[in-house]
Structure 1
Amino acid sequence: MRVRKTSPKRPGRAVFALVAACAIGAVAAPFAIAGASSQPTVTAAADDGPNDLLLPTPEAPRISNGPYAGFQLCGSPAGDPVVTSGTPTLAATLEAVAPPGTVESAEPGPRRKVLFEVDTAAGAPVTHKQLTSDTSHDAAYQLPEGTLTDGAYRWRVRVKDGATESAWTAWCSFTVELR
């Protein structure tokens, strides 16, 4: 009589695929949660736009001491951002790649008009600037030297695309403490 040696069964490809998918999900979930905006996404009807199209409000408003400094998110539980530069950079993510029902141009170059509004904490206008974003995803504006002094301010942003425009973001309060 012959005895056959058998090895224990190995897990199949499906088991490996399931384990890999769970591992990827466990790694990606914290990043997705961290990247989520704490502000609700709001859409505003276009002013007399064709077919009353909607354009999403820019998300994740943030501020930094300059173009190469790290950003502080607006609305953070840690409190209002504090900048130590007279030329901070204001930035937002433009989730509005194209309004519903339109086709975005494949041509490279400027796509959206972005309006930045900076006021004192009391609501007195400091500067209002309209720029054209070079991408469909982000917009940034570095305030010119001498625009801000020590004190409390607030800013907000919105995007325009042709006849459509988004709602303003919520005000982002921040403090300037020049050294």
Structure 2
Amino acid sequence: MRVRKTSRKGTGRAAIALVAACAIGAVTTPLAIAVASQETAAEAAADGGPDDLLLPTPEAPRISDSAYAGFQRCGAASGDPVVTSGSPTLAATLESVAPPGTVEPAQPGPRRKVVFEVDTAAGEQVVHKQLTSDTSHDAAFQLPEGTLGDGAYRWRTRVKDGGTVSQWTAWCSFTVERR
């Protein structure tokens, strides 16, 4: 039987390498975790995470000939909405700005401010109106009669709640064709 001898140098080198690897891992692991958590926090804020101070953009912008007529959705495949009234009603769903799981209080507190902008198709501002929403679910604004003549227009909206402000909705192009 032959006994194999291991050199002390080889064992010592292996032990030193193992200790060095453990030391490097002990130092770099917390740094890697810290960097990863910072990246995750930055991504969450960019995605509208819990630390984000902006309200979500209102959804489903739509337009109607009047407060009691059916609404046409903006961005529909059928083309831009056409209204036959000089005082159309603009509306948007604000459900996205109510915190998830909240219930409307019986006596609502401060209302959200909703800003409506109407421009000509060329970008000249016709209306800039700020209203308060009676609910956190929707907002509507009927333009005063005579505000718009025949032609092409566009509108958008956003919400303000205290010091926080949503992004604007995309422009909703529409045409007024009085009969």
Q: Which residue identity is paired with 2:160? A: K
Structure-1 separation of matches of 2:54 and 2:169: 15
Query: What is aligned with 1:68?
Result: 68
Is structure 2 residue 80 aligned with structure 1 residue 80?
Answer: yes
Structure 1 residues 44 and 123: CA distance shift in structure 2, 3 A: farther
Q: Which residue identity is paired with 1:93? A: T
Query: What is aligned with 1:164?
Result: 164
Structure 2: which 5+ runs fail to align?
Answer: 1-45
Query: What is aligned with 2:35?
Result: none
Query: What is aligned with 1:151?
Result: 151
Q: How does 1:8-157 map to 2 (within 5 A)?
A: 52-94=52-94, 95-98=96-99, 106=105, 107-108=107-108, 111-157=111-157
Q: What is the TM-score normalised by the length of structure 1?
A: 0.67
Indicate the RMSD between aligned Cα atoms, in angstroms: 2.1
Structure-1 separation of matches of 2:134 and 2:47: 23
Q: What is the TM-score normalised by the length of structure 2?
A: 0.67
Task: Give CA deviations for 1:69-106 in whole Å, capped at 9, x if unaligned.
Answer: 000000000000000001100000002014x8xx8883
SS of equivalent residue, structure 2 residue 55: strand
Structure 1 residues 72 and 105: CA distance shift in structure 2, 3 A: closer
Query: What is the deviation of 1:111?
Result: 2.0
The total of aligned residue pairs comes to 129
Taking only the aligned residue pairs, the percentage that are identical comes to 75
Query: What is the deviation of 1:146?
Result: 1.0
SS of equivalent residue, structure 2 residue 123: coil
Structure 1 residues 74 and 105: CA distance shift in structure 2, 3 A: closer
Q: Which residue identity is paired with 1:97? A: A
Runs of 4+ residues over 6 Å off in structure 1: none
Structure 1 residues 66 and 145: CA distance shift in structure 2, 3 A: same
Structure-2 separation of matches of 1:126 and 1:172: 14
Task: Give CA deviations for 1:134-175 in whole Å, capped at 9, x if unaligned.
Answer: 000000000001100000000000000000000000000000
Structure-1 separation of matches of 2:104 and 2:166: 19
